[in-house]
Amino acid sequence: MLRSVVQFGIAGLIALIVVGVATQFASRRAGERSAVDQARSTALLRAQVVSRYVTPKLLVGDPGAIDRIDRVVTRSVLDRSIVRVKIWTSDGTILYSDEKRLIGRRFALGREEREVVRSDRRVVAGVSNLSSPENQFERRDRKLLEVYTPMRPFPGARLLFEAYFRYDAVSSAGAQLYQNSAPWTIGALIVLQLVQLPLAWSLARRLQRRQRESERVLRQALEASTVERRRVAADLHDGVVQGLAGAAFTLGGIARRPDLDTNVAELLSRTEHELRDGVQALRSLLVEIYPPNLFEEGLAAALDDLVARLRTSGVNASLDLAQFDRAVPETASALTFRAAQEAVRNVTAHSHATRAQVALATTATGLELRVSDNGIGCDPTSVLTAPADGHFGLRGIRDLIAEAGGSFTFDAKPGVGTSIRVEVPVS
């Protein structure tokens, strides 16, 4: 139970780390989007300020017009976040830039820039391509955000205002948003985890109690079955078997009387042999109902007896105990033997097999039993769901093993053979 709660706590800690990383990523992205939106708004406002001072003389490169724009840009536009300003014509000529070497030069506008020039209010932002020729004087900055917005200073003029923002301002906005939101988010998750731990502890205790109750019920069922088998075996041995053995002994004595008619003597002799065969069959059945060596000599010896009886029926049977290496509690032994008993009974009664193998192995959690044969096979689904030929025992074994927390696998193919695999947990 403690291990389950610890595992739950570790899973919660991992979830906190994952959520923290996801929160950081989401917060940064949200902060960057917010900063980009803010840059768009800033560029639009600065473009409106500069637009009031743009005259037709600027279009022909008048020095006075350029100086007037330069004073406005220096005083009202450039700051710590904006490092470059450019005013373009629709054909790609730079009418103004705070970098004087760019004024009058012409560069090819991209598709997006051309669309912005033709629009009225569209504002576009994106990371600058500093390898472009028009950005040759901005390459000292490792990363910039450029924002385009249309400029209409007077009728007929279609200009493009471009502002370059430092990208570290955008990144810092994302980091700031994360710093503001992360403590609340992670704190809420920590509180949630602390609230869930007592619930996990309670559920683990409840599950442990239910598991113990299930094990107790199964143990009682197996013990009750063992007691009932012992009682039936004792009643048969002390009653019917002894009576039939006595009758066979009496008939044998009468049949050997010299004064008895020959036909009657032969009839009595045959009857004696049939009774002795019946007694032998009953004694074999008693051993199968309650094998004394299961609890006296162990599971391996009981399985060896099962395989030996299989050989007497004409089947070339083998027992593999190479992977079986430890003592087994009585409950697990009884359940494993019942499964092997039922599987061997089906080999004898239904399979028409010439070869069979029983293998018992110790696993990390319990026991693994395999019983396979080369018989005529069958349809596993019909045997387990709608048995019509005496296979009810397999269904009962499957249900018992499931209640014990084990697994039951029944594989069979007509004309190929049958394989039964059982895993019984050892708690």
Q: What is the mean pLDDT of residues 273-295?
A: 66
Question: Top-level CATH class of 2-173?
Answer: alpha beta
Residue 95: its pLDDT value, please?
93
Contact predicate 416/378, CB 8 Å = no
Return the amino acid letter for 403.
Answer: E
Beta strand extents in 153-267 (DSSP E only): 159-166
Nearest of 161, 165, 78, 164 to residue 121 by alpha carbon: 161
Which range has highest mean pLDDT (24-33, 191-200, 357-366)?
Answer: 357-366
What is the Cα–Cα distance from 144 to 169, expressed in whole angstroms?
Answer: 10
List beta partners, residue 144.
166
pLDDT category of residue 360 using cuts at 50, 70 and 90: very high
Question: Top-level CATH class of 298-425?
Answer: alpha beta
Nearest of 348, 357, 403, 410 to residue 383 by alpha carbon: 410
Side-by-side strand order, sheet with 124-127: 94-97, 82-89, 159-166, 144-151, 124-127
DSSP string, 17-55: HHHHHHHHHHHHHHHHHHHHHHHHHHHHHHHHHHHTT--
Q: What is the DSSP letter of 102?
A: G
Spans of all domains in the chain: 2-173, 298-425
DSSP string, 59-74: HTT-HHHHHHHHHHII
Query: pLDDT averaged over the chain?
Result: 78
pLDDT digits (tens, 9 = 90+) for 89-107: 999 999 999 999 999 999 9
pLDDT digits (tens, 9 = 90+) for 215-225: 666 666 666 66
Q: Look at 390 and 302; give whichever has higher pLDDT.
A: 302
Residue 415: its pLDDT value, please?
80
Two structure tokens written together for 326: 């430890």
What is the Cα–Cα distance from 121 to 394, expressed in whole angstroms?
Answer: 80
Residues present in the chain in total:
427
- Reduced to 3 DSSP states, what percent helix, strand and coil does the chain have, rounded to the nearest 5? 60, 15, 25
pLDDT digits (tens, 9 = 90+) for 222-247: 666 666 666 666 666 556 766 776 77
What is the Cα–Cα distance from 95 to 73, expressed in whole angstroms?
Answer: 13
Contact predicate 420/409, CB 8 Å = yes
pTM of the model: 0.41
What is the Cα–Cα distance from 76 to 194, expressed in whole angstroms?
Answer: 53
- CA distances (Å), origin 257, targets 152, 263, 268: 139, 13, 11
- CA distances (Å), origin 168, targets 34, 36, 369: 14, 12, 67
Q: Look at 329 and 70; give whichever has higher pLDDT.
A: 70
- Phi and psi at residue 400, in whole multiples of 5°? -60, -45
Nearest of 404, 316, 392, 413 to residue 355 by alpha carbon: 316
Residue 390 has pLDDT above 50, yes or no: no
Residue 292: its pLDDT value, please?
56
